[in-house]
Amino acid sequence: MSLHEKVEGLCRNPHSVSQALAEDPSLSPGEAAKKLYHPDNISISEGHVPSKRNPATEDELERALQCGRFTTQPSELFLRVFHDSLMPLEHDPLMGCCSPSLVGSTGTCPLTIISGLPDICRHMSNLIARADKEVLLATNYWMDSDASRLITDGLKELSRRAGERGVRAVVKIMYDRGNVKQVLDNHQTVSEEEYTGKNIRLPSTKEAPNLDMQVLNYHRPMLGTFHSKFMVVDRKIGIVSSNNIQDNSNMEMMCHVEGPIVDSLYDTFLISWHNELDPPLPSRNSPAAQGGLPTFEQASFQGLFDPNGNLNVPEYGNSRSLQEVAEAGKRTELPLHAPGDPHYDVDIAGEVTRMQSVMSPRDGETGPAVAARHLNRGRHLDLKPTIEGNYAPGEEMTPYIPHRVHDLVPMALVNRKPYGATNHNGVFMPQNEAWLSAVRNATTSVFIQTPDLNAAPLLPELLAAVRRGVDVTYYVCLGYNDAGELLPFQGGHNEGVANKLYTSLTAEESAARSRLHIHYYTAKDQVAPIHDSFKQRSCHVKLMIVDSHLGIMGNGNQDTQSWYHSQEVNIMIDSAEIVTKWREGIERNQNTAKLGRSSNEDGIWRDAQGNQAKGAIGVDAGKFSWAKGVVGAVQRVRGAGGF
């Protein structure tokens, strides 16, 4: 399998949808894409999966290198995965929802968040409030909620600040709430009357008079869900995350990026938007590649770290600047930035300090009690911690993980287009090829966290990896959307898949069995997994780490829907420093590694007495699993199920 000259030409050609709109703002992104790449004449289902994938040669890796805008030399693993992710572009240049010239890039990661959903929305709302002129926000599901109120409060604050500056800010918001009109037009403009209604409750013109806001509802019937979750602010800051905008009990993950990779996310937003931009985007002539690295240039952020790169701000505790102490007056801790009671910070350093204050023990609280208090916020729960005693120093929950100042590192977008048909032909996509290539080319370790893992193409690759000596560890959520996954052709529920993997290894393959580690998400304050049906402690993180230096995170689950149908946006990073921090944050902010491990005989979690978790289905879903699947499908459409 080798890169076609057509793909090389597309990647090396400087043209992009973004550039076309900069040159002619009257074009819609859809018109620009058609002019450059003729996407209307392409059928996704005709892009067949190669019958054989041969490893790229040294010459082919060099050609792949020239297809990206890398300022530092990527690792061989990154280049192999990048090479393979480009292959589907031969059939359709926009299979990755990004202009080919912008797919491979560089960037920095100042901040990662691994926590409950509200903490990501807190950061998003701060970025929105601090925006200068432009916010582009894409999410799968938007529901009026505490999470959405954090965002809408931020939009109102942006309007207020823009008014003080005597300017207007442009806001574009895109989500997926499928309706029958999308059979004829996938991209439905949402009226102000609708987006200010009870289900969405975005600000009205009266509430945010200094915003020019457009809202779009995008879905490709039947199954082509717009599952993307990302944001671009002022074409300088990018956010890629796992969360929707709704209240739930999920642990989530977000990566804040800056540098040239933001231009790639900006381009992806334009291609996804498709329709006319009214008004045009103010940043169309201000590429991120020329905009510096805003966070790393701030003295306050640099001051978070000592000369050795260690945090000066304690990992918990009320560490504040003198100015913050003066402003706080007699308060003993910084208040939470909350919906309806916003407390905006001037920069990321302020956000980190506030979060560490919020996570400090109060009135004799233990560490597990602090974690429980914080994780309960997503659904206003009162679930008590089951972890006894206290955490050892350094084990406290730390939702915000700042990364010390670092050079630009190789990055790439490995996305996929939506595919609506009710078959599995829409599988040859950059996202899927990247995941498969990463596992195939792993030499030491593969780590995955995902709500569900049941994608048929992935399972044999995981088995092949452990058989050739690679350690494979994956974390899934017990019972996550079991009903939906039990529909025919959806791949099955997590316990059934775990059982299938372990029982596929013969008695003679004990070494391979010892290298396969399957765990069920166990929250930071709990001693055991809690079944998702209770909606108390679930996990929605989407992450793959290979050989401790290549990371892929974003929107895509390792399930049938994400592999075959939904539009997904994922970022691939080549940096041992960043990826190590990701893995440390994953382990520190949950107990999955210690307390969630399944049996390596049948893939089932049991407690010390041999009991399965309450609500668990076990290996056999029963005769009427298809009926449960129908219920799950209905819940998904209503937004009540996992997605």
Q: What is the pLDDT of residues 230-285, one digit of tens each?
A: 999 999 999 999 999 999 999 999 999 999 999 999 999 999 999 999 999 999 99
Above pLDDT 90, what percent of the chain? Answer: 86
**Is pLDDT larger for residue 315 or for residue 338?**
338
Q: What angle do CA 523, 343, 541 make, to 5 degrees?
A: 25
| pLDDT higher than threshold 90 for residue 141 | yes
CATH of the domain at 165: 3.30.870.10
Nearest to 283 by CA among 569, 21, 571: 21
Lowest mean pLDDT among 148-152, 332-336, 386-390, 624-628: 624-628
- pTM, two decimal places: 0.94
Whether the predicted pLDDT of 488 surpasses 80: no
pLDDT level of residue 327 (50, 70, 90 thresholds): very low
Q: Are strands 409-413 and 445-449 parallel, antiparallel or unpaired?
A: unpaired
Q: What CA–CA distance (Å, rounded) separates 240 from 218?
A: 18
Q: Please indicate, yes or no, if residue 367 is contained in any of the structural domains.
A: no
pLDDT at 642 over 70: no
Phi, psi of 73 (to 5 degrees): -70, 120
Residue 579 lies in a domain: no
Taking the C-alpha atoms of residue 250 and residue 247, their distance in angstroms, rounded to an integer, is 9
Query: pLDDT for 510-525, tens place per residue?
Result: 999 999 999 999 999 9
Residues 456, 489: contact at Cβ < 8 Å?
Answer: no
Name the residue range of residue 247's domain.
Answer: 105-291
Residue 196 domain-assigned? yes
135-139, 297-301, 386-390, 633-637: which has the minimum mean pLDDT?
633-637
Span 65-85, pLDDT tens digits: 999 999 999 999 999 999 999
pLDDT for res 46 = 59
Confirm whether 432 is domain-assigned: no
The predicted structure's pLDDT at residue 640: 46
Interval 502-516 mean pLDDT = 97
* Closest to 537 measured CA to CA, from 256, 322, 249: 249
pLDDT digits (tens, 9 = 90+) for 32-55: 999 999 866 667 665 678 878 889
Q: Tell whether 605 is covered by a domain.
A: no
Q: Are 544 and 446 in contact (CB under 8 A)?
A: yes
| Across 397-417, average pLDDT | 97
- Confirm whether 34 is domain-assigned: no
Question: Domain tally for the chain?
Answer: 1
- Per-residue pLDDT for 186 more than 70? yes
pLDDT of residue 47: 61
Does 359 map to a domain? Answer: no
- Token reading at 230: 């990302």
Residue range 488-506: mean pLDDT, rounded: 91
pLDDT computed for residue 44 by the predictor = 65
pLDDT for 316: 45
Q: Is residue 210 part of a domain?
A: yes
608: confidence class by pLDDT, cuts 50, 70, 90: very high
- Of the candidates 504, 511, 435, the residue with the CA atom closest to the CA atom of residue 467: 511
